[in-house]
Amino acid sequence: MSPVLTQEYAKTFPNLVSAHNIVPLEGPRLALFNQPLANQLGVKAADINVLREWCLGNPPTSGHAQKYVGHQFGVFNPDLGDGRGVLLGEIEDEQAQIWDLHLKGAGPTAYSRGGDGRAVLRSSLREYFASETLNHWGIATTRALALVSSQQGVQRERLEPGAMLTRVAKTHVRFGHFEYCYSQRLVTEQKQLWQHVMQRCWPQLTDAEPIEQFRAVVKATAEMIADWQAFGFIHGVMNTDNMSICGDTFDFGPYTVFDTFIPQQIFNHTDHRGRYSFLRQPSVGLWNLQRLSQALSLIFPVDALAPVLNEYEDFLQQRYLGRMRKRLGLMHGDDSVAFKRVGEWMGLMQRFEWDFQDSFIMLQDIIKGDRAMPDDDLFKEWYECYMADNDQQPQLGVMETTNPRVSLRNHHLAQVIAQAEQGEWTAAQSYLAALTGQSLSVDELSHWQQPPNSNEQVTSLSCSS
């Protein structure tokens, strides 16, 4: 049987969508297609062409743009919604999990506010690579199923080639959906939407108390952000309309993964005050959850949910510690000692301006005796304590499976994008393979492992996508 694309969301929430006929790009070409993800969605080899057609912008029925609002840089904006994205529908996998398929860059919608409804190749490729890398690192994220390239020009700061990205997620419901219901006093819709999210993301909690349900959202959000902190990922635009309700990393824009660890650095060039800098991500996550709990006061008593917000920090810290224990091979011993050692390690990383991911590989090499220890008293002191914490035996195997050897780097992405814009996709295929742990030649791998030279460092990223 061919894959079936249902319209469950659009049928259940007619007041929260606007039907949208996709306007395909000129001369569309399926430049990247995520076959392992297609397999995971349960689409059989014989039906792959059906799925590919949908990704090219030719689904069997019209799609739907979703309405939402949000707080952008702390300010409420009522005029949001899918301005260029469209929910194609849902598909059910063999485990009966339902997945949203969403096409980004599908032409102007009812919520475009004069925008062109398009996405450029540069940002679509950056989203594809980030979501697949984060997924490989075990960080909750939306996925990328396909990237369609085109010769059609799209005007941004310069004229760029347009593209479309097919995004897959358990849900595309954002914090901003609930804020919309709250702002319009849509009680029935908000109740239904909450149930819908529970069924999709936490089916075991559909009959649980609201506080238990809200706890799942708080925990998922806290754990996602803890994972970002442990891997040096900066989202860059943590507006509430870019927060997935199920705690997936969502809406990749001017994101960065640190090369050199400079925690206070601001990469998003429109974020003048550094609201979304690396160090502020945990507190912004809580601020966003507060906006969500306020929106949910439409259907639940406020004081019923508020206590869970006090658990946020603990969820975040515990997850962060768990992750960092693995990154450092620090699997035993007291939590407070481990926390101290992790904090000191991050301090060393900052002091020496180490490359974020490579510093962990360096530590592995020092433990194995393959590399000399930095000639520095502070480092030696830390290393002695660290070895003592570990009974002289850090868990190298755990470190090796946790610490990526290839990182998501802006200068490599820039190289891949420049080639893709010329219609050359070999570098893209190779880098994607390196990022997602597929086997490659030694030369290729060593190329993608290179951190940037001083003249290749990216310090500022455009939000315009």
Residue of minimal CB distance from Mg ion? 251
Residue 82 binds which one of ligand AMP, Mg ion, none, with CB within 5 to 8 A depending on kind? ligand AMP
- The total number of residues shown for the chain amounts to 465
Q: Would you state the structure tokens that stand for residue 335, as one six-digit string?
A: 């939590």
Q: Compute the Cα dihedral for 155, 158, 164, 168 and give only its sign.
A: negative
Q: How far is the CB of 118 from ligand AMP (least distance, A)?
A: 5
Please tell me whether residue 80 binds ligand AMP under the rule CB under 6 A. Answer: yes
Query: Using alpha carbons only, what angle is made at residue 87 by residues 83 and 93, rounded to the nearest 5 degrees?
Result: 155
Q: How far is the CB of 243 from ligand AMP (least distance, A)?
A: 11
> β-pairing, 98-104 with 85-92?
antiparallel
Q: What whole-number distance in Å separates Cα of residue 186 and Cα of residue 298? A: 8
Q: What whole-number distance in Å separates Cα of residue 94 and Cα of residue 99? A: 11
Site mask for ligand AMP (CB under 6 A), range 93-132, x = bound: -------------------x--xxxx--------------
Q: Measured from the CB atom, is 242 or 249 closer to Mg ion?
A: 242
Q: Measured from the CB atom, is 167 or 215 closer to ligand AMP?
A: 167
Neighbours of 44 (CB within 10 A): 13
Q: What whole-number distance in Å separates Cα of residue 176 and Cα of residue 77? A: 10
Q: Which of 82, 241, 259, 358 is catalytic?
A: 241
Q: Measured from the CB atom, is 150 or 430 closer to ligand AMP?
A: 150
Member of 190, 213, 242, 465 binding Mg ion (CB under 5 A) = 242
Q: Measured from the CB atom, is 159 or 463 closer to Mg ion?
A: 463
Member of 64, 67, 71, 84 binding ligand AMP (CB under 6 A) = 84
Neighbours of 441 (CB within 10 A): 9
Residues with Cβ within 8 Å of residue 148, at least 6 apart in sequence = 25, 28, 29, 30, 31, 55, 56, 57, 163, 164, 165, 166
DSSP for 65-111 reads: EEB--EEETTEEES--B-SSEEEEEEEE-TTS-EEEEEEES----TT
Please tell me whether residue 81 binds ligand AMP under the rule CB under 6 A. Answer: yes
Residue 210 binds which one of ligand AMP, Mg ion, none, with CB within 5 to 8 A depending on kind? none
For residues 16 and 193, the answer to whether their CB atoms sit within 8 Å is yes
Stretch of 139-147, 165-173, 247-255, 456-464 contacting Mg ion, by CB under 5 A:
247-255
Q: What whole-number distance in Å separates Cα of residue 312 and Cα of residue 286? A: 7
Q: Would you state the structure tokens that stand for residue 147, as one six-digit string?
A: 């990237």
Member of 251, 271, 358, 389 binding Mg ion (CB under 5 A) = 251
Q: Measured from the CB atom, is 215 or 235 closer to Mg ion?
A: 235
Residue 165 binds which one of Mg ion, ligand AMP, none, with CB within 5 to 8 A depending on kind? none
Residue 80 binds which one of ligand AMP, Mg ion, none, with CB within 5 to 8 A depending on kind? ligand AMP
Q: How far is the CB of 29 from ligand AMP (least distance, A)?
A: 21
Q: Measured from the CB atom, is 124 or 402 closer to ligand AMP?
A: 124
What residue type is 256 in one-letter code?
Answer: T
Q: Would you state the structure tokens that stand for residue 375, as one six-digit string?
A: 């000639």
Q: Comparing C-alpha atoms, which of 98, 233, 234, 223 is closest to residue 168? A: 98
Active site residue 241: yes
Q: What whole-number distance in Å separates Cα of residue 352 and Cα of residue 379? A: 10
Stretch of 78-86, 306-314, 343-351, 376-384 contacting ligand AMP, by CB under 6 A:
78-86
Member of 3, 83, 263, 333 binding ligand AMP (CB under 6 A) = 83
Q: Measured from the CB atom, is 179 or 358 closer to Mg ion?
A: 179
Please tell me whether residue 265 binds ligand AMP under the rule CB under 6 A. Answer: no
Q: What whole-number distance in Å separates Cα of residue 101 and Cα of residue 4? A: 12
Stretch of 6-14, 76-84, 261-269, 303-311 contacting ligand AMP, by CB under 6 A:
76-84
**Count of residues that bind ligand AMP according to CB under 6 A:** 13
**Catalytic residue list:** 241
Q: Which residues are near Mg ion by CB under 5 A?
A: 242, 251
Q: Which residues are near ligand AMP by CB under 6 A?
A: 80-84, 112, 115-118, 242, 251, 253
